[in-house]
Amino acid sequence: MNDMTPTREQREARLEGMGCKRKRVEDIRFTQGKGNYVDDVKLPGMLHGDFVRSPHAHARIVSIDTEKALKVPGVLAVITAETLKTVNLAWMPTLAGDVQMVLADGKVLFQNQEVAFVVATDRYAADDGIAAVEVEYEALPPLIDPFTSMDADAPVLREDLAGKTEGAHGPRKHHNHIFEWTVGDRELTDAAFAKADVTIKEMISYHRTHPSPLETCQCVCSFDKIKGELTIWGTFQAPHVIRTVVALISKIPEHKIHVIAPDIGGGFGNKVGAYPGYICAAVATIVIGKPVKWVEDRMENLTTTSFARDYHMTTEIAATKEGKVTGLRVHVLADHGAFDACADPSKWPAGFMNIVTGSYDFPVAHLAVDGVYTNKAPGGVAYRCSFRVTEAAYCIERGMDILAQKLGMDPAELRLKNFIKAEQFPYHSALGWEYDSGDYHTAMKKGMETIEYAGLRREQAAKREAFQRGETREIMGIGVSFFTEIVGAGPSKNCDILGIAMFDSCEIRLHPTGAGIARMGTKSQGQGHETTWAQIIATEIGIPADDIMVEEGNTDTAPYGLGTYGSRSTPVAGAAIALAARKIRAKAQMIAAYLLEVHEGDLEWDVDGFRVKGLPEKYKSMKDICWAAYNSVPPGMEPGLEAVSYYDPPNMTYPFGAYFCVMDIDVDTGVYKIRRFYALDDCGTRINPMIIEGQVHGGLTEAFAIAMGQEIRYDATGNVLGGSFMDFFIPTAVETPHWETDYTVTPSPHHPIGAKGVGESPNVGGVPAFSNAVNDAFSFLGSTHIQMPHDFWRNWEAAKRLGVTG
């Protein structure tokens, strides 16, 4: 060692491992227009498919005449349900145990439903073909309001289910009923309510919305008749699952199906499900023998693929007069649209809605969810949340505020009084989860101090007085939200998709010169996996992150994994990465011992290599060891340096956070100003603080959109009113508030690097913070709950209803 020898800190910094704000390596191509997306796939002779869609929400199909369309120049084929029946694909299974029409079979059940698929030499010809297809409909009465879906005289939507009293999740109570799912102890909960000092009851709706990635859903399918192989490039958040599903329904052997998810322009849950476009493009390429591309347009995306939320939650909390909660009772009416195509782990018809007890120590609770059919698009995806966690968080966080109001208590105080205490972890919730770790009081207090909560409440009190005196037309709201997420689906004991356990995987292969490649079963859609996964490996095996290439999304090369959604990648694949790296390090240690002629146990790990204990100059770097792995391994050892890990997590991870929103609303116009938004997140060990901050900014922006305007609405006849960006709120930099972020670190005790997910937390915690701010602003005027989204119009309406504006 001499003056030139780098210090330990310098060696660590060179790795750019965990904890480093490493710049996103993928952005080099994304910011220069060099990304490679599905629509960039252009194959010789490629055809284009597009859909004829239904203008009606509910109608019988009298006839479909394709004759004129087939005469349109460039049109090669028009596929209808009748065509698909010949290959037994007119209907497809959904992830939720239901079946769904691929193309309308006999009737249509929602506006814009896929009726026929026109294949042509280019997109324009396909559209001309669509205009020439003649469909005769006989309108049927639409069912739009879920609250009337189980009325005795409600129209029958699913004629295919006639007489079926058993669904995938138990008995059906009515022809439009899908399932009833109950959790918790009903009797004990009822008893807690019977003896409670104080109770609240409110119907809290979480409206229908939609994830809106920049890139819509799309695919290119190409069948090679000679080899009998099908290649599908698609916007898939879970490519391996798609491959298995295609193998099961097409009977093409799984090894002859190549699924490739190239760069993806945002997913947000939209790209988890399987859509008719994929099936039609695959059938078309098999039948016609040429590659077929299908690309959704924006309106198709918003109105047909994967809606989110649409939960109507009747929420009751029981408490003592001192404000200690004693029971929670929630009934959800879940509007699933025309088919139950919710993307949840198979056994969870309402996702993880049973995290609804939130961050509070409820001794007893009961949850019942009724899923119903309506004439709306199917889907039910976790739009930036882990399977209905955002609905659960909204429900309990609004409920706690309503309880605080009834008790005349401060909402932050009420939360502090009821939090699960740090010493109670691992904590068993009344609805069956085991929370791994948490320190809620510390997080909440840090947040309250940073935003000077007490001062804000004083300011609010003064402003309310000024408002009552007529000196101002503005009301001030302080939104408090404290959420607990449940991410990392999931342990094979309770999570599977179509029978496949929800593990994830990593394979690392190091090359002789000390560089390497790592592949996972996950698939980034913008989250920065190429950056962060290499950071985990860098810390674990001492190879600079820059020397590790991360590859995802190709089912031929990547180990089987369940994909990226529900913030599962860090909890599940992140663990697999660390464990694969540790296997490599264990082999490297044997090689180093051989090279240094000592016993393995005499070596200690030191940042980027092994040192002999007590003899620091006797050292082999990982780079040296990589070289040796290919030429001088100990006798009897196989050469090479690679490892695979499949990780079945023992539990979920439970990130949490404290969010505060300060808002002023002008009662005469409904216009709001978000003065401050503070978000403290605890996601355990932080891999890349810069990426985490970006994730929080993105998630908060989506939360802001949802809470303050974004909605897929329907009129009484079933016309979609949120079908374009003219009507569907996508905030720009102009509307988006400034975000202040903060953190605490409470590692997960069961995760190899202590990390929990974070990508969805800001959406889960953000929505209640905004909504609580609006509701808090109006509360002193006698309002207990105003439904989302809180756009200017609805704020003004609320002010009018409360008699403070004309």
Report whether 218 contacts 295 (CB < 8 A): yes
Report whether 117 contacts 358 (CB < 8 A): no
Report whether 274 contacts 98 (CB < 8 A): no
Q: Which stretch binds ligand PCD (CB under 6 A): 478-486, 495-503, 688-696, 735-743?
A: 688-696
- Out of 337, 490, 566, 722, which residue is the one contacting ligand PCD (CB under 6 A)? 566
* Minimal distance, residue 526 CB to ligand PCD, in Å: 3
**What are the Cα distances from residue 171, in Å, to 43, 184, 498, 652?**
48, 19, 20, 29
Annotated catalytic residue 384: yes
510: helix, coil or strand? strand
Annotated catalytic residue 385: yes
Taking the C-alpha atoms of residue 228 and residue 251, their distance in angstroms, rounded to an integer, is 11
Please identify which of the residues 20, 217, 342, 385 carries the catalytic annotation.
385
* Minimal distance, residue 799 CB to ligand PCD, in Å: 34
Closest CB to ligand PCD among residues 34, 164: 34
- Out of 412, 538, 691, 798, which residue is the one contacting ligand PCD (CB under 6 A)? 691
Residue count at the site for ligand PCD (CB under 6 A)?
38
Report whether 378 contacts 157 (CB < 8 A): no
- Out of 110, 206, 236, 268, which residue is the one contacting ligand PCD (CB under 6 A)? 268
Closest CB to ligand PCD among residues 670, 699: 699
Q: Which stretch binds ligand PCD (CB under 6 A): 402-410, 428-436, 513-521, 564-572?
A: 564-572
Within 275-423, strands assigned E span: 292-295, 308-319, 325-335, 365-372
The residues pairing with 643 across neighbouring beta strands, listed in sequence order, are 508
Please identify which of the residues 111, 113, 218, 237 carries the catalytic annotation.
237
* Minimal distance, residue 535 CB to ligand PCD, in Å: 8
**According to the 3-state scheme, what is the secondary structure of 24-65?**
CCCHHHHCCCCCCCHHHCCCCCCEEEEEEECCCCCEEEEEEE
Question: Tokens representing 665?
Answer: 């609303």
Buried b or exposed e, range 306-325, using 16+ CB within 10 angstroms: bbbbbbbbbbbbbbeeebeb
Considering only residues 750 to 789 of the shown chain, the ones binding ligand PCD according to CB under 6 A are 755-760
Report whether 508 contacts 558 (CB < 8 A): no
Question: Tokens representing 24?
Answer: 């996103």
Is residue 568 close enough to count as binding ligand PCD by CB under 6 A?
A: yes
* Minimal distance, residue 685 CB to ligand PCD, in Å: 6
Binding-site string for ligand PCD from residue 378 to residue 407, where x marks contact by CB under 6 A and - marks none? ----xxx-----------------------
Taking the C-alpha atoms of residue 771 and residue 465, their distance in angstroms, rounded to an integer, is 23
**According to the 3-state scheme, what is the secondary structure of 407-446?**
HCCCHHHHHHHHECCHHHCCEECCCCCEECCCCHHHHHHH
* Minimal distance, residue 706 CB to ligand PCD, in Å: 12
- Out of 212, 695, 701, 772, which residue is the one contacting ligand PCD (CB under 6 A)? 695
Binding-site string for ligand PCD from residue 493 to residue 532, where x marks contact by CB under 6 A and - marks none? --------------------------------xxxxx--x
User: Closest Cα to residue 193, out of 316, 15, 57, 81?
Assistant: 316
Closest CB to ligand PCD among residues 477, 757: 757
* Minimal distance, residue 360 CB to ligand PCD, in Å: 24
Is residue 269 close enough to count as binding ligand PCD by CB under 6 A?
A: yes
Is residue 687 close enough to count as binding ligand PCD by CB under 6 A?
A: yes
Q: Which stretch binds ligand PCD (CB under 6 A): 263-271, 356-364, 368-376, 785-793?
A: 263-271
**∠ at Cα 519 (514, 523), nearest 5°?**
140
Q: List residues near ligand PCD by CB under 6 A.
A: 213, 237, 266-269, 382-384, 525-529, 532, 564-570, 683-688, 691-692, 695, 698, 755-760
Catalytic residues: 237, 384-385, 760
